[in-house]
Copies of this chain bind each other. A is one copy, B any other.
Amino acid sequence: KINPDRLWQSLMETARIGGTPEGGIARLTLSEDDAKVRAWLAAQTAALGMTLVVDEVGNMFATLPGRNPNLAPIAMGSHLDTQPTGGKFDGVLGVLAGLEVLRSLKDAGLTTEAPLMLVNWTNEEGSRFSPAMLGSGVWAGVYSRAEADARQDAAGESFGAALDAIGWRGTARAGSQRFAAMFELHIEQGPVLEAEGKEIGIVTGVQGLRWFEARLTGCAAHTGSTPMTMRRNALLGAARVIEAVDAIGLAHAPHAVATVGFLEVSPNSNNVIPGQVDFTIDLRHPDDAVLAQMEADLRAAFDTAAGGIGLEGDLRRISKVDAVRFDADCIASVRAGAERAGVCGREIISGAGHDAVHCAAVAPTVMIFVPSEGGLSHNPAEATSAAECATGTQVLLDAVLAHDRL
């Protein structure tokens, strides 16, 4: 049995690292606060007698030996970075639940057959450095280390420079740390479990996602003396793309989602017609064929918006993560763990992307969801109760033990 109070206390303790007045966490990847929470985690795993390896993109792997040194470890974990308006649970729960499982086993004097591993992936959120799930993506060979190092934040600082600056670049080659299976506990970040009164989601897969960076270039000019007919207003073009992106999401209902979440205007002055607008587009669907159609719709809408008012347009896809189905044996372990813990769950497809998506390409993987109040996430008001966190963590423990018995 896991210790619910200790779990909750660890959640609240780390929530102060980058904590915001709104009650959330703003702990952007590779920030000073990221370094602090990493040091905290390293100290906790050291206290459990675990061996920590950090790879060249900052992914952290802490291992506890099992009875059989020839077995590859069973891994648990998620990420400790957050959105600028992050809540207290997204990612953090998966890491701290794994830590609680390890602590509970130690308290009970139990040793598993296989070694156990706790993982903290670098830059899952993709908010400071896109794309999302970058650390696990390099680990899985989807991106190279050089590609990751070159990514820049809005201030022009590179991922590589930021990683070096906080002192968390390890020496292990990305991908050298392997495991036999990965169990990621996460909040749902959507409304389904709460609406149906289910305690956990047995996640059978993750929908596909495609991210794009767009630039529209017109001509900066005076708002007062430039006739409407002589304008090349980049923001007007962007407004039309935003409207079109929303329409694409609605057109492929009910499962499609499509969003412009980031947008920057240049020169961004009251009395200057915008000369340039940079923005991102996020398209998702559980069916890759529909997602491909959504991308085609986007490209057509983008060209129409740009061409219609004489703008130059540049639209680049910066990430494409296909829909994933998780491993049947791992799913069975979660189902067995839920039964053992006496918890009521349902199968579910994840709307959000997760490091588990990249793990699934390399090793048997599964996820466990707990409910999110109002389906809200990437918001300081993100809420999952202490009891719900504990239930998910208990299922994680029982699932890992079930898998260890296989």
Contact = CB atoms under 8 A, between A and B. Distances in A.
Interface of A: 83-85, 125-127, 130, 132, 188-191, 207, 209, 211, 219-230, 233, 235-236, 238-240, 242-243, 246, 249-250, 253-254, 256-275, 280, 282, 284, 350-353, 375-379
Contacts of A273: 259, 261, 378
B189 A225 contact: yes
A305 to B, nearest CB: 11
A282 B190 CA distance: 39
B257 A262 contact: no
A256 B263 CA distance: 27
Contacts of A190: 222, 225-227
A83 B267 contact: yes
Contacts of A84: 267-269, 272
B221 A378 contact: yes
A103 B202 CA distance: 83
6 contacts: A132-B270, A221-B376, A223-B284, A228-B257, A261-B268, A267-B378
A85 B274 CA distance: 11
A240 B201 CA distance: 37
A230 to B, nearest CB: 7
B272 A126 contact: no
B254 A262 contact: no
Contact of A226 (B130, B228, B257, B269): B257
A260 to B, nearest CB: 6
B275 A271 contact: no
A222 B377 contact: yes
Contacts of A352: 222, 224-225, 271
A274 to B, nearest CB: 6
Contact of A225 (B188, B226, B260): B188
Given A236-B246, A239-B239, A242-B236, A271 B125 contact: yes
A265 B260 CA distance: 10
A211 B85 CA distance: 30
A375 B220 CA distance: 12
B191 A230 contact: yes
Nearest to A84: B267
